[in-house]
Amino acid sequence: MMTLLQREEIRRGREAHLSEEAMAVFADPRLNYRKMRVLRTALNDGIDPGLLKPLARTWIPEWKLEELTEEIRKGNLPEPPGRPFPLRMVLAGIFAAGLCLPLPFLLSPQDEPELELTAEEVRLSCGMTFDPAAYVRNADAVEEAGGVLILPEAFTADMPGTRLVQYRLEGNGTTMRRNLRITVTDETAPVLKLKTEKTELLKEAPFSCQSYVFSAEDNVDRDLKDQVICSDVLQDTETQEVRYTVKDSAGNEAHATLAVHFADYGEPLREAETERVASVSPAASVPARTAPPVTVIEPVLS
Protein backbone atom coordinates (compact mmCIF):
# COMPACT_ATOMS: atom_id res chain seq x y z
CA MET A 1 0.00 0.00 0.00
CA MET A 2 1.43 3.36 -1.03
CA THR A 3 1.01 6.60 0.82
CA LEU A 4 -0.46 9.72 -0.72
CA LEU A 5 3.00 11.30 -1.12
CA GLN A 6 4.36 8.18 -2.81
CA ARG A 7 1.45 8.19 -5.26
CA GLU A 8 2.13 11.86 -5.92
CA GLU A 9 5.70 11.03 -6.99
CA ILE A 10 4.41 8.39 -9.39
CA ARG A 11 1.88 10.85 -10.81
CA ARG A 12 4.62 13.40 -11.45
CA GLY A 13 6.72 10.75 -13.15
CA ARG A 14 3.89 9.92 -15.53
CA GLU A 15 3.28 13.60 -16.20
CA ALA A 16 6.95 13.83 -17.23
CA HIS A 17 6.30 10.93 -19.69
CA LEU A 18 8.96 8.69 -18.17
CA SER A 19 9.23 5.24 -19.74
CA GLU A 20 7.96 2.12 -17.99
CA GLU A 21 11.57 1.08 -17.38
CA ALA A 22 12.25 4.41 -15.69
CA MET A 23 9.04 4.25 -13.66
CA ALA A 24 9.99 0.81 -12.37
CA VAL A 25 13.19 2.24 -10.87
CA PHE A 26 11.46 4.43 -8.27
CA ALA A 27 7.82 3.24 -8.16
CA ASP A 28 8.55 0.87 -5.28
CA PRO A 29 6.35 1.10 -2.15
CA ARG A 30 9.34 0.09 -0.04
CA LEU A 31 11.03 3.39 -0.87
CA ASN A 32 9.83 6.45 1.01
CA TYR A 33 8.59 9.39 -1.03
CA ARG A 34 11.81 11.38 -0.52
CA LYS A 35 13.96 8.62 -2.02
CA MET A 36 11.43 8.24 -4.82
CA ARG A 37 11.76 11.96 -5.47
CA VAL A 38 15.58 11.78 -5.68
CA LEU A 39 15.41 8.96 -8.22
CA ARG A 40 12.57 10.57 -10.21
CA THR A 41 14.48 13.86 -10.42
CA ALA A 42 17.58 12.04 -11.66
CA LEU A 43 15.50 10.26 -14.31
CA ASN A 44 13.98 13.58 -15.38
CA ASP A 45 17.53 14.87 -15.82
CA GLY A 46 18.15 12.14 -18.38
CA ILE A 47 20.16 9.65 -16.34
CA ASP A 48 19.91 6.12 -17.71
CA PRO A 49 17.51 3.93 -15.65
CA GLY A 50 20.09 1.12 -15.70
CA LEU A 51 22.53 3.27 -13.75
CA LEU A 52 19.95 4.20 -11.13
CA LYS A 53 18.36 0.80 -10.63
CA PRO A 54 21.16 -0.49 -8.31
CA LEU A 55 20.60 2.58 -6.11
CA ALA A 56 16.91 1.91 -5.50
CA ARG A 57 17.49 0.10 -2.23
CA THR A 58 15.79 0.64 1.10
CA TRP A 59 19.04 0.41 3.08
CA ILE A 60 20.64 3.33 1.23
CA PRO A 61 19.81 6.49 3.21
CA GLU A 62 18.45 9.52 1.41
CA TRP A 63 21.57 11.65 1.87
CA LYS A 64 23.74 8.87 0.42
CA LEU A 65 21.34 8.44 -2.50
CA GLU A 66 21.66 12.13 -3.31
CA GLU A 67 25.46 11.85 -3.27
CA LEU A 68 25.42 8.83 -5.59
CA THR A 69 23.06 10.42 -8.12
CA GLU A 70 25.16 13.60 -8.10
CA GLU A 71 28.27 11.53 -8.91
CA ILE A 72 26.45 9.96 -11.86
CA ARG A 73 25.50 13.43 -13.11
CA LYS A 74 29.21 14.29 -13.09
CA GLY A 75 29.94 11.24 -15.29
CA ASN A 76 31.26 8.96 -12.56
CA LEU A 77 30.07 5.44 -11.81
CA PRO A 78 30.00 5.12 -8.03
CA GLU A 79 29.83 1.74 -6.35
CA PRO A 80 26.52 1.39 -4.50
CA PRO A 81 26.93 0.36 -0.87
CA GLY A 82 26.13 -3.23 0.00
CA ARG A 83 23.35 -4.21 2.30
CA PRO A 84 24.45 -4.14 5.94
CA PHE A 85 24.39 -7.51 7.65
CA PRO A 86 21.52 -7.40 10.16
CA LEU A 87 22.65 -7.37 13.76
CA ARG A 88 19.93 -9.83 14.65
CA MET A 89 21.40 -12.41 12.30
CA VAL A 90 24.87 -11.87 13.79
CA LEU A 91 23.55 -12.42 17.28
CA ALA A 92 21.60 -15.45 16.17
CA GLY A 93 24.77 -16.93 14.67
CA ILE A 94 26.69 -16.34 17.86
CA PHE A 95 23.91 -17.96 19.84
CA ALA A 96 23.82 -20.94 17.50
CA ALA A 97 27.59 -21.30 17.86
CA GLY A 98 27.16 -21.91 21.55
CA LEU A 99 28.11 -18.53 22.93
CA CYS A 100 25.07 -18.21 25.08
CA LEU A 101 24.19 -14.56 25.44
CA PRO A 102 21.24 -13.47 27.55
CA LEU A 103 18.00 -13.80 25.61
CA PRO A 104 16.91 -10.18 26.33
CA PHE A 105 20.10 -8.98 24.63
CA LEU A 106 19.39 -11.10 21.56
CA LEU A 107 15.89 -9.70 21.40
CA SER A 108 16.98 -6.14 22.03
CA PRO A 109 14.58 -3.70 20.37
CA GLN A 110 17.42 -1.40 19.36
CA ASP A 111 17.63 -2.96 15.90
CA GLU A 112 13.86 -2.82 15.45
CA PRO A 113 12.49 0.19 13.52
CA GLU A 114 10.71 2.63 15.78
CA LEU A 115 7.96 5.06 14.80
CA GLU A 116 8.17 8.43 16.53
CA LEU A 117 5.81 11.36 16.00
CA THR A 118 6.64 14.95 16.82
CA ALA A 119 3.49 15.32 18.95
CA GLU A 120 0.43 13.47 20.14
CA GLU A 121 -1.93 16.32 19.22
CA VAL A 122 -1.76 19.18 16.72
CA ARG A 123 -4.03 22.17 16.11
CA LEU A 124 -4.95 23.47 12.68
CA SER A 125 -7.03 26.44 11.61
CA CYS A 126 -9.74 26.07 8.99
CA GLY A 127 -8.21 26.36 5.54
CA MET A 128 -4.86 24.84 6.52
CA THR A 129 -3.56 21.63 4.93
CA PHE A 130 -2.54 18.62 7.02
CA ASP A 131 0.80 17.20 5.79
CA PRO A 132 1.23 13.82 7.50
CA ALA A 133 4.95 13.53 6.73
CA ALA A 134 5.66 16.73 8.67
CA TYR A 135 4.82 15.02 11.97
CA VAL A 136 7.14 11.98 11.65
CA ARG A 137 10.29 12.55 13.68
CA ASN A 138 12.44 9.66 12.44
CA ALA A 139 11.30 8.89 8.90
CA ASP A 140 14.84 8.44 7.60
CA ALA A 141 15.80 6.06 10.39
CA VAL A 142 12.66 4.01 9.75
CA GLU A 143 13.47 3.61 6.09
CA GLU A 144 17.12 2.79 6.80
CA ALA A 145 15.99 0.03 9.16
CA GLY A 146 13.98 -1.52 6.34
CA GLY A 147 10.55 -0.60 7.66
CA VAL A 148 7.64 0.48 5.52
CA LEU A 149 5.97 3.65 6.79
CA ILE A 150 2.31 4.07 5.89
CA LEU A 151 1.07 7.61 6.39
CA PRO A 152 -2.52 8.82 6.77
CA GLU A 153 -3.90 10.83 3.88
CA ALA A 154 -3.38 14.57 3.68
CA PHE A 155 -6.45 16.79 3.83
CA THR A 156 -7.52 20.41 3.97
CA ALA A 157 -9.24 21.41 7.21
CA ASP A 158 -12.63 22.86 6.29
CA MET A 159 -14.76 22.31 9.40
CA PRO A 160 -14.00 22.77 13.11
CA GLY A 161 -13.79 19.56 15.11
CA THR A 162 -11.47 16.76 16.20
CA ARG A 163 -10.30 13.75 14.23
CA LEU A 164 -7.89 10.91 14.89
CA VAL A 165 -5.44 9.70 12.23
CA GLN A 166 -3.18 6.67 12.40
CA TYR A 167 0.41 6.09 11.29
CA ARG A 168 1.60 2.52 10.65
CA LEU A 169 5.07 1.06 10.48
CA GLU A 170 5.46 -2.44 9.05
CA GLY A 171 8.70 -4.36 9.33
CA ASN A 172 10.08 -7.73 10.44
CA GLY A 173 6.61 -9.20 10.41
CA THR A 174 5.23 -6.72 12.93
CA THR A 175 3.06 -3.62 12.69
CA MET A 176 3.54 -0.57 14.90
CA ARG A 177 0.78 2.04 15.17
CA ARG A 178 0.80 5.61 16.41
CA ASN A 179 -2.25 7.87 16.67
CA LEU A 180 -2.27 11.62 16.12
CA ARG A 181 -5.17 13.76 17.32
CA ILE A 182 -5.96 16.75 15.09
CA THR A 183 -8.05 19.62 16.44
CA VAL A 184 -9.39 21.99 13.80
CA THR A 185 -10.46 25.45 14.97
CA ASP A 186 -12.17 28.34 13.20
CA GLU A 187 -10.20 31.49 13.91
CA THR A 188 -11.16 33.46 10.81
CA ALA A 189 -13.71 36.26 11.15
CA PRO A 190 -16.45 36.72 8.55
CA VAL A 191 -16.05 39.29 5.78
CA LEU A 192 -18.67 42.05 6.07
CA LYS A 193 -19.12 44.48 3.16
CA LEU A 194 -21.46 47.46 2.84
CA LYS A 195 -22.74 48.94 -0.42
CA THR A 196 -21.18 52.28 0.53
CA GLU A 197 -19.25 53.80 3.42
CA LYS A 198 -21.29 57.01 3.66
CA THR A 199 -24.67 58.35 2.61
CA GLU A 200 -26.71 61.58 2.71
CA LEU A 201 -30.34 61.71 3.82
CA LEU A 202 -33.09 64.20 4.48
CA LYS A 203 -34.15 64.24 8.10
CA GLU A 204 -37.69 63.18 7.25
CA ALA A 205 -36.56 60.35 4.89
CA PRO A 206 -37.08 56.74 6.02
CA PHE A 207 -33.91 54.81 6.92
CA SER A 208 -33.25 51.04 6.85
CA CYS A 209 -29.73 50.00 7.89
CA GLN A 210 -30.11 46.51 6.38
CA SER A 211 -30.59 47.98 2.91
CA TYR A 212 -26.92 49.06 2.96
CA VAL A 213 -25.55 45.52 3.59
CA PHE A 214 -23.89 44.11 0.47
CA SER A 215 -22.64 40.74 1.78
CA ALA A 216 -21.51 38.85 4.89
CA GLU A 217 -19.52 35.70 4.08
CA ASP A 218 -17.77 33.24 6.40
CA ASN A 219 -15.29 30.50 5.48
CA VAL A 220 -17.28 27.94 7.49
CA ASP A 221 -20.84 29.26 7.94
CA ARG A 222 -21.00 30.72 4.41
CA ASP A 223 -23.75 33.34 3.95
CA LEU A 224 -24.42 35.36 7.13
CA LYS A 225 -26.16 38.34 5.55
CA ASP A 226 -29.38 37.69 7.44
CA GLN A 227 -27.50 37.71 10.76
CA VAL A 228 -26.03 41.20 10.46
CA ILE A 229 -27.02 43.37 13.45
CA CYS A 230 -27.56 47.13 13.10
CA SER A 231 -29.98 49.85 14.24
CA ASP A 232 -32.45 51.97 12.24
CA VAL A 233 -32.59 54.64 14.97
CA LEU A 234 -30.78 57.84 13.97
CA GLN A 235 -29.80 60.64 16.32
CA ASP A 236 -30.63 64.30 15.80
CA THR A 237 -27.10 65.25 14.78
CA GLU A 238 -25.74 66.40 11.47
CA THR A 239 -23.33 63.45 11.03
CA GLN A 240 -23.31 60.10 12.79
CA GLU A 241 -22.12 56.50 12.34
CA VAL A 242 -24.26 53.39 12.16
CA ARG A 243 -22.38 50.32 13.41
CA TYR A 244 -22.80 46.88 11.82
CA THR A 245 -21.81 43.58 13.48
CA VAL A 246 -21.90 39.96 12.35
CA LYS A 247 -20.69 36.89 14.25
CA ASP A 248 -20.01 33.33 13.05
CA SER A 249 -20.76 30.11 14.97
CA ALA A 250 -17.23 30.10 16.45
CA GLY A 251 -17.68 33.58 17.90
CA ASN A 252 -15.47 35.46 15.44
CA GLU A 253 -16.84 38.96 14.80
CA ALA A 254 -16.65 41.39 11.92
CA HIS A 255 -17.63 45.07 12.04
CA ALA A 256 -18.39 47.86 9.60
CA THR A 257 -19.62 51.44 9.89
CA LEU A 258 -21.84 53.62 7.73
CA ALA A 259 -21.46 57.42 7.96
CA VAL A 260 -24.85 59.15 7.73
CA HIS A 261 -25.10 62.87 7.00
CA PHE A 262 -28.33 64.89 7.12
CA ALA A 263 -28.23 67.14 4.06
CA ASP A 264 -30.88 69.53 5.46
CA TYR A 265 -29.63 69.69 9.05
CA GLY A 266 -29.70 73.24 10.48
CA GLU A 267 -31.43 74.85 7.45
CA PRO A 268 -33.93 77.76 8.09
CA LEU A 269 -37.64 77.01 8.42
CA ARG A 270 -39.58 76.63 5.25
CA GLU A 271 -41.67 79.63 4.03
CA ALA A 272 -45.03 78.27 5.23
CA GLU A 273 -43.68 77.67 8.73
CA THR A 274 -42.18 81.23 8.79
CA GLU A 275 -45.55 82.80 7.94
CA ARG A 276 -47.30 80.75 10.63
CA VAL A 277 -44.85 81.89 13.31
CA ALA A 278 -45.01 85.54 12.20
CA SER A 279 -48.86 85.63 12.39
CA VAL A 280 -48.77 84.87 16.10
CA SER A 281 -47.82 88.10 17.94
CA PRO A 282 -46.53 88.06 21.48
CA ALA A 283 -49.31 90.44 22.57
CA ALA A 284 -51.97 88.14 21.28
CA SER A 285 -50.40 85.11 22.80
CA VAL A 286 -50.27 86.54 26.37
CA PRO A 287 -53.55 87.89 27.89
CA ALA A 288 -53.33 91.51 29.21
CA ARG A 289 -53.54 91.96 32.93
CA THR A 290 -56.32 94.35 34.23
CA ALA A 291 -55.37 96.68 37.04
CA PRO A 292 -57.58 96.32 40.11
CA PRO A 293 -59.97 99.26 40.81
CA VAL A 294 -58.64 101.96 43.09
CA THR A 295 -60.94 103.22 45.91
CA VAL A 296 -60.39 106.78 47.04
CA ILE A 297 -61.28 107.47 50.65
CA GLU A 298 -61.88 111.08 51.49
CA PRO A 299 -61.13 112.27 55.00
CA VAL A 300 -64.11 113.18 57.21
CA LEU A 301 -63.97 116.69 58.75
CA SER A 302 -65.55 117.30 62.16
- Segment 59-87, tens digit of pLDDT: 888 888 888 988 888 888 787 776 665 55
Out of 77-86, 204-213, 245-254, least confident range: 77-86
Identity at 153, one-letter amino acid code = E
Instruction: Look at 151 and 82; give whichever has higher pLDDT.
Output: 151
Looking at 2.60.40, 1.10.3470, 3.40.50, 1.20.5, the CATH number of the domain 115-185 comes to 2.60.40
State the Cα–Cα distance between residues 59 and 111, nearest whole angstrom: 13
Question: Given 3.40.50.620, 2.40.110.10, 2.60.40.10, 3.60.21.10, which CATH number is that of 191-262?
Answer: 2.60.40.10
Confidence of residue 302 (pLDDT cuts 50, 70, 90): very low
pLDDT given for residue 225 in this prediction: 95
- pLDDT tens per residue, range 93-128: 655 555 554 544 444 444 556 788 999 899 999 999
pLDDT score recorded for residue 78? 80
Confidence of residue 216 (pLDDT cuts 50, 70, 90): very high
pTM score above 0.75: no
Cα dihedral 117, 6, 154, 115 in deg (nearest 10): -10
pLDDT > 70 fraction of the chain, expressed in percent and rounded:
76
> Tens digit of pLDDT for each residue in 2-36?
787 888 899 999 999 999 999 999 999 889 888 99
pLDDT at 274: 37
Asked whether residue 281 carries a pLDDT value surpassing 80, the answer given is no
> Is pLDDT above 80 for 252?
yes
User: Residue 298, exposed/middle/buried by CB under 10 A (0-12, 13-18, 19+)?
Assistant: exposed
For the chain, the structural domain boundaries read 4-73, 115-185, 191-262
Highest mean pLDDT among 25-29, 82-86, 230-234, 291-295: 230-234
Q: One fold for both 115-185 and 191-262?
A: yes
**Most distant pair of Cα atoms in the chain: their distance:** 173
Closest CA to 165 of 179, 154, 177, 150: 179
Measured CA to CA, the distance from residue 179 to residue 122 in angstroms comes to 11
